[in-house]
Structure 1
Amino acid sequence: MAVRAEAAGEQTKSYLERLFSSDGFHAPSIDEFFPPALLWEGTIFEFNRIMLIRVIAAAALIGVFWFVAARAKVVPGRFQSVVEFMLDFVKDQIVEPVMGDHGKKYLPFLTTLFLAIVFFNITGVIPFLNIASTSLIGLPIFMAVWVYVLYLGQGIKKFGLGGYLKNNLFPPGVPKFVYILLTPIEFLQVFILRPATLALRLAANMISGHLLLVLCFGATQYFFFAASGALKGMGAVTFAAGAAFMLFEIFVALLQAYVFVMLSTVYLNMAIEEEH
């Protein structure tokens, strides 16, 4: 076990070391997202580097809110103010504009979802972690299924199975012959496309962002330490591009959390509305 863990650690300790060798530049590949097992290799409990990063992100999220809750003050300090801003953002900018007073019931769920995605996404720009926890499709799928089960459950609870299917598959005010085309499209949208696009959008953005960062900073190392002559100057260009992409990746990490939760809120609202 110790030998296996040591070997896995050697393979995953540095992206840059794995991207370059003496024979030139090697572009990043999709293998970045399938690191070797650290524990329990070959079993359903296999534990790899990305799973470790997820554990760290979850622990950080819990730790931050435990720390703030344990030291909460009537007049908040800077750290407490930042946390309260994030909580208020979900309430004021997402849930209330979409759902109004009906959103109070779902606010804890949607706030938890937003903050979890932010923490899982932001690991992509944290040194020594260097990859978003949501860049492997399993976690986005889990979150999308969580939303899927909730909005289906709430819709069926309110209208009953028949009423929910009627509201979603047979929109009112449409000529009956149009249902021949419209109903299959609505079925695909409600039961397949909504959860699928939630998961794919999040994972695809995190994957592309990671590959761009590794490409830029990997190229920087190559130009500075392996290239010769005038090519060394290109290292400054790729470093500047990498720094710009890092800032952009932070923006994307926050934006994707917003988009995921905004769409989840819209789907929940559509599930419990009388008409669409």
Structure 2
Amino acid sequence: HLNIAPKLLIEAATGRIADANDSALAFYGYTRGQITTLHVGDLNTLAPDMLTGEIDRARREQERFFRFRHRTANGELREVEVYSGPVFIDGREYLHSIVHDVTRAHRYQQWLERYRRIFESLPVGVYSSRPADGGRVTDANPAMARILGAATPDELIGRSAASFHPDSAQARAVAAELMRAGVLRARELPLRTLDGREVWVAVTARVRDSAGERWIDGIVEDISERRALAAEQRLLAKAFRTSQALMITDANGVIERVNPAFTTLT
């Protein structure tokens, strides 16, 4: 009764709650008179047949640790871990159950899993690195691996972020600017992939301080195709300013574009 962990004494044969300590009363929101009129099924949200099976496993000591969802007096659902085993008092068998509320930890785990799914499915590269460790990559998503020519994100972990720059001068300049300003916004620059290709990317990154350590979190977008198209358009625009008559047709000979010289000529 003096233990700070919620504890229940449950009749093994019937599932009736025979006793509860003060911590359990506070946790579930019942008085002792109220809770001793309840069946453990009034707290546990498992289907009755499944709950009977779990009680039997605890009685036989086939299992001592359980994860359940319990309902409090006000209807709130709480995630709990229960350590339960048989005890005998005056010749009668009970289950002595110690209840740990893990609702916050469970919700935090769900939050982590949800954001991990987002992290892994994003079409842009996402990474983290640790400046104190030589700027080595500590985390990366699949899109980041694809951009940098890696088969899996694991191939990037532990590599220095500077190793992906085409030269040390660019690596130092980018790192210095980031550490000075604390942020980079859509900085366009070339990187070198693991298989030796050059890829143009737009990097947005920020410096983050956590638990006395400095980290860098970044988003990397592959803009190689966009830059190539822009370069082609600039070249085409320059060409179309020539005094020579120019036209572009599709595969069927339909004219798509002409320059002023062509209109003058025709």
Q: Same fold (TM over 0.5)?
A: no
TM-score range, shorter chain: under 0.3
TM norm structure 2:
0.21
Which one has the bigger strand percentage?
2
TM norm structure 1:
0.21
Which one has the bigger helix percentage?
1
Considering only CA atoms, is the larger Rg found in Structure 1 or Structure 2? 2
